[in-house]
Amino acid sequence: MADMTGRFFWYELMTSDPKAAEAFYTTVVGWTAAPFDGGNAMPYTVISGSEGGMGGIMAIPPEAAANGLKPCWLGYIGAADVDADAAAAANAGGSIHNPPSDIPDVGRFAVMADPQGAVYNLLKGSSPQEMPSYSGGAMGHVSWNELHTTDWEGAFSYYSGLYGWTREHAMDMGPMGTYQIWNRPDGVTAGGMMNDPNFPRPVWLFYFQVGNIDAAQARITDNGGSILFGPSEVPGGGWIINALDPQGAMFALVGTRES
């Protein structure tokens, strides 16, 4: 199995209506879904793309809902040692929202936030089989991890220092400023980050790979979702959409358009 340390490798939707969300995304993205038989107190659905499991769907825990958590997608970064990595993140200016804890038959995790407030999770699987790998561009998998923040330079310093990310090229976005593309520890380009005043708070946005972007747009609106941005062409010939699912969680798609 590939080494997932320092890489986003699992994506989780916390939502107010897991069954409705499952129906929406299996239709829109094309995932298959199956219940996770791990003895969890709360039901958990594993979602799979063309190359296997890539994430899960679960209800927002009552205590989190009571504290105001709304439906959202969270990404898991692979950790060599969750306890040590969480402490290092806190020392680097991040914060620990949920301290390192064990998930039976899965691994050890922690919920973190970077210095600007974007939330992400750390996870070390209990066995190599709990650390999935897939090739870039696989259907239904995440092909781009994008940070919308208030200080991308500070954020990049934080993530690169903790997780070994490196700078790829930067793009001039005009009035929007700089869009910094970054590589994961193995040198593969994995995402970008920028300052974005249009977002209410710093957040990670994940792009799921689909086929035809116009057909995907129709599936979003036909099934109760809403389009925030796009379809818009991006360098390399792809087309992107930013959207909200029916429960209000933000997500993104990347696909193609026939000329």
List, as one string, the DSSP characters of 211-240: EEHHHHHHHHHHTT-EEEEEEEE-TTS-EE
Taken in order 167, 193, 243, 78, is the CA torsion positive or negative? positive
Q: Is 172 exposed, middle or buried (0-12, 13-18, 19+ CB in 10 A)?
A: exposed
Any idea which residue has 């005043």 for tokens?
A: 197
Full strand arrangement of the beta sheet holding 52-59: 32-35, 44-49, 52-59, 8-15, 72-78, 119-125, 107-113, 95-103
Dist. CA 136–CA 88, nearest whole Å: 29
171: its two tokens: 């793009």
Question: Rounded to two decimals, what is the model's pTM?
Answer: 0.94
- Within 10 A of 125 (CB to CB), how many other CB atoms are there? 21
pLDDT along the chain (259 residues), means of 10: 84 97 98 81 89 94 88 96 97 96 88 97 76 68 96 98 96 90 95 92 97 97 97 92 98 90
- Domain 8-130 part of CATH 3.10.180.10: yes
- Within 10 A of 178 (CB to CB), how many other CB atoms are there? 14
Dist. CA 258–CA 239, nearest whole Å: 11
Q: Cα 40 from chain centroid? A: 22
188: its two tokens: 């593969």
Give the phi and the psi of residue 243 in degrees, each rounded to 5.
Answer: -150, 170
Model pLDDT for residues 158-193, shown as the tens digit of each residue: 999 999 999 999 999 888 899 999 999 999 999 999
**Per-chain mean pLDDT for the chain:** 92
Dist. CA 127–CA 179, nearest whole Å: 36
CA distances from 144 to 16, 53, 123, 136 (A): 25, 17, 19, 9
| SS3 assignment, position 118 | coil
Q: Is 87 exposed, middle or buried (0-12, 13-18, 19+ CB in 10 A)?
A: middle
Dist. CA 127–CA 213, nearest whole Å: 36
Taken in order 215, 135, 185, 170, is the CA torsion positive or negative? negative
Q: What are the residue boundaries of the structural domains of the chain, listed by start?
A: 8-130
